Amino acid sequence: MIMASITDCSLLKLPKIKYRAGNITALEGLKDIPFEMKRLFYVYDIPGGVVRGGHAHHQCHQLIIAASGSFDVQIDDGKNKKTFNLNRPYFALHVVPGVWNNLSNFSSGAICLVLASEKYSEADYIRNYQDYLKLVR
């Protein structure tokens, strides 16, 4: 597992092309984002009060974007915690491997878009917080 700190995570301002008919954000891996994307997924129709995430990765980088609406992302390295409110589709939170994350406080109609550096692999996930703390300490 890559040992990381919340200071290794960053809020990125994504390129935004303004048009009268609506804005566009286009992303290219290794140009606009700090990794080559191998997977994209999005979470939507999230019931009120639900917490998503609740895991860390051994290898996978994630770029988390509020494609619509808003939500909070709490990152945690086992010592420090920080919460980001994502509410604009041209900002993204880069979560590095080894950092725990929780997503909460989803607004009605929120869509959470995630770009990932790796294809899905259950072995890459750390899903138990106590196990995570043992790994990082």
pLDDT tier, 1 (very low <50, low <70, confident <90, very high otherwise): low
Task: Answer for the pair 67, 37: CB distance below 8 angstroms, yes or no.
Answer: no
| Residue 70 or residue 137, greater confidence | 70
Question: Confidence class of residue 2 from pLDDT cuts 50, 70 and 90?
Answer: low
Q: In which residue are the tokens 């420090």 written?
A: 80
Residue 1 lies in a domain: no
Reported as a single tens digit per residue, the pLDDT across 11-48 is 999 999 999 999 999 999 889 999 999 999 999 999 98
What does the DSSP assignment read for the chain?
-----GGG-EEEEPP-B--TT--B----BTTTBSS---EEEEE-SPPTT--EEEEEESS--EEEEEEES-EEEEEE-SS-EEEEEE--TTEEEEE-TT-EEEEE-PPTT-EEEEEESS---GGGEE--HHHHHHHH-
Spatial CA neighbour of 103 closest among 137, 69, 130: 69
Q: Do the domain assignments include residue 96?
A: yes
CATH number at residue 129: 2.60.120.10
Domain extent at residue 96: 6-136
Considering the domain boundaries, does residue 131 fall inside one?
yes
Catalytic residue of the set 55, 57, 58, 61: 55
pLDDT exceeds 60 at position 7: yes
- pLDDT one-digit tens code per residue, 61-103: 999 999 999 999 999 999 999 999 999 999 999 999 999 999 9
- Residue 55 annotated as catalytic: yes
Q: What does the block give as tokens for 105? A: 């406080």
Q: How confident is the model at residue 26, as a pLDDT? A: 95
Number of domains in the chain: 1
